[in-house]
């Protein structure tokens, strides 16, 4: 019986609420598919600070190192907001985790079912069939990490801050491979987003993408777009994209725009794949909802668990090679959300059916 060994880092506020339901769905799937779940839970974020004095306790890191994947909830919230920025749960837990496991590829599906298009701030006649696109964001390079990164007082008394945007060809090729594989599994359309009219890193990015795709994936339809135009096109006609790939900061901004036009944070999952392989020879990855800890609704039992369940499906696909099972889970979420039972996500402007009832509906659809 195949064993799925993963770490469960539920985090704070709604994190444990939606994680509990995702684990219940996974247990059901495991019974159906004859899979063995072998997971270990560990504190992270605010829970890590409260119980171990650190957002990413050493014991938690060890649990992750021994696993083949990490199923992550979300971290942070008002309780820890007064801590210095460097000790804030998000910064002190997620960034070190990304760095430790070199999680360089962030895959974010932008999905809105046709039945729920009224949840999008876009006019429904622009998205008659909903939205189905994927953003691939480079996660460990670019201006967030480039050196020098300094703030200095100049001789004339003025203050100057410097951030540095750095990319190597190998980093571009590495993220591109993930984008190519994703596009191959979909409509075969890949759009590379850059700012090659202004930035040196983007000139290298565009050249590398053009040459690499011509050599290794000539069957794909490749296009290039400047990031400012991409931001407009996403709002104008999102489905002109199939898969788009971009560097770290552009991806940070565009993926949030994509989340907004998809209508609900409670539905959006994400995968961050590492450079290393797990014990199965597949990518080690961290899988988490796109949203945060939603302190405004925590404890009420109304958080939408779908993003967490869909994140678990991504984990099965990428880190355990179970694409068919992942597809079944995704179909069950779709059936539950678009069927008789309406999602409990307040972002949809509908009364909540509750976290547990939503997961029950997914289980019933499996």
Binding site for ligand NAD (CB under 6 A): 14, 18, 74-77, 90, 94, 265-266, 288, 291-297, 303-304, 307, 345-347
CA 272 to chain CA centroid, Å, is 6
Q: Which is nearer to ligand NAD, 52 or 300 (CB)?
A: 300
| H-assigned helices in the chain | 14-33, 46-52, 58-65, 89, 95-100, 169-184, 200-216, 227-236, 248-261, 306-320, 323-338, 355-365
Report, in Å, the least distance between residue 253 CB and ligand NAD.
Answer: 14
Report, in Å, the least distance between residue 204 CB and ligand NAD.
Answer: 30
Q: Rounded CA gap, 183 and 163, in Å?
A: 32
195 catalytic per annotation: yes
Report, in Å, the least distance between residue 341 CB and ligand NAD.
Answer: 15
144 catalytic per annotation: yes
Report, in Å, the least distance between residue 65 CB and ligand NAD.
Answer: 20
118 catalytic per annotation: no
Q: Which is nearer to ligand NAD, 295 or 301 (CB)?
A: 295
Which residues are within 8 A (CB) of 243 and not within 5 positions of it... i.e. 6 or more apart?
A: 133, 134, 136, 179, 182, 183, 186, 189, 190, 191
Q: Which of 79, 163, 252, 300 is catalytic?
A: 252
Beta strands at 70-74 and 3-11: parallel, antiparallel or unpaired: parallel
345 catalytic per annotation: no
Which residues is 147 bridged to in the sheet? Answer: none
Report, in Å, the least distance between residue 302 CB and ligand NAD.
Answer: 7
Q: Which of 38, 50, 118, 228 is catalytic?
A: 228
Report, in Å, the least distance between residue 354 CB and ligand NAD.
Answer: 11
Which residues are within 8 A (CB) of 335 and not within 5 positions of it... i.e. 6 or more apart?
A: 365
Q: Which is nearer to ligand NAD, 14 or 362 (CB)?
A: 14
356 catalytic per annotation: no
Instruction: With CA atoms as reference, report the closest residue to 251 among 148, 88, 105, 91.
Output: 105
Residue 185: how many other CB atoms lie within 10 Å = 12
Instruction: With CA atoms as reference, report the closest residue to 70 among 330, 349, 278.
Output: 278
Q: Which is nearer to ligand NAD, 82 or 123 (CB)?
A: 82
Q: Rounded CA gap, 70 and 6, in Å?
A: 6
Q: Is 199 exposed, middle or buried (0-12, 13-18, 19+ CB in 10 A)?
A: middle
Instruction: With CA atoms as reference, report the closest residue to 284 among 109, 84, 71.
Output: 71
Q: Which is nearer to ligand NAD, 17 or 242 (CB)?
A: 17
Residue 109: both structure tokens together? 């599906």
CB 277 within 8 A of CB 283: yes
Q: Which of 50, 129, 237, 256 is catalytic?
A: 256
Q: Which is nearer to ligand NAD, 347 or 357 (CB)?
A: 347
* Residue at shortest CB range from ligand NAD: 292
Known catalytic residues? Answer: 144, 195, 228, 252, 256
């Amino acid at each position: 019986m195949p064993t799925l060994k993963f770490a469960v880092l539920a985090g704070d506020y709604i994190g444990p609420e939606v994680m509990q339901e995702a684990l219940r769905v996974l247990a059901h799937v495991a019974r159906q598919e004859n899979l063995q779940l072998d997971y270990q839970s560990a504190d992270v974020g605010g829970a890590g600070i409260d119980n171990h004095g650190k957002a990413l306790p050493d014991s938690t890191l060890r649990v992750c190192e021994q696993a083949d994947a990490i199923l992550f909830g979300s971290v942070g919230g008002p309780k820890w907001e007064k801590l210095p920025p460097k000790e804030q749960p998000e910064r002190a837990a997620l960034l070190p985790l990304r760095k430790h496991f070199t999680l360089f590829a962030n895959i974010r599906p932008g999905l809105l079912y046709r039945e729920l298009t009224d949840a999008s701030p876009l006019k429904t006649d622009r998205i008659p069939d909903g939205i189905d696109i994927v953003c691939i964001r480079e996660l460990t390079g670019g201006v967030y990490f480039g050196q020098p990164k300094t703030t200095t007082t100049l001789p004339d008394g003025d203050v100057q801050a410097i951030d540095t945007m750095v990319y190597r060809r190998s980093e571009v090729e590495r993220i591109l491979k993930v984008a190519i594989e994703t596009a191959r599994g979909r409509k075969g359309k890949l759009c590379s987003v850059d700012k090659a009219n202004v930035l040196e890193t983007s000139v290298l990015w565009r050249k590398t993408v053009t040459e690499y795709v011509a050599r290794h994936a000539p069957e794909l339809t490749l296009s290039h777009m400047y990031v400012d135009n991409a931001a407009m096109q996403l709002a104008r006609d999102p489905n002109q994209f199939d898969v788009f790939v971009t560097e770290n900061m552009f991806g940070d901004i565009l993926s949030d725009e994509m989340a907004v036009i998809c209508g609900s944070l409670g539905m959006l999952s994400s995968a961050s794949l590492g450079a290393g392989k797990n014990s199965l020879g597949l990518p080690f990855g961290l899988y988490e909802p796109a949203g945060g800890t939603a302190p405004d609704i925590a404890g009420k039992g109304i958080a939408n668990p779908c993003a967490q369940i869909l994140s678990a499906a991504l984990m099965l696909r990428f880190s355990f090679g179970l694409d068919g099972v992942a597809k079944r889970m995704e179909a069950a979420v779709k059936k539950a959300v678009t069927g008789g039972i309406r999602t409990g996500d307040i972002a949809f402007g509908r009364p909540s059916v509750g976290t547990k009832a939503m997961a029950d509906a997914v289980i019933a659809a499996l």
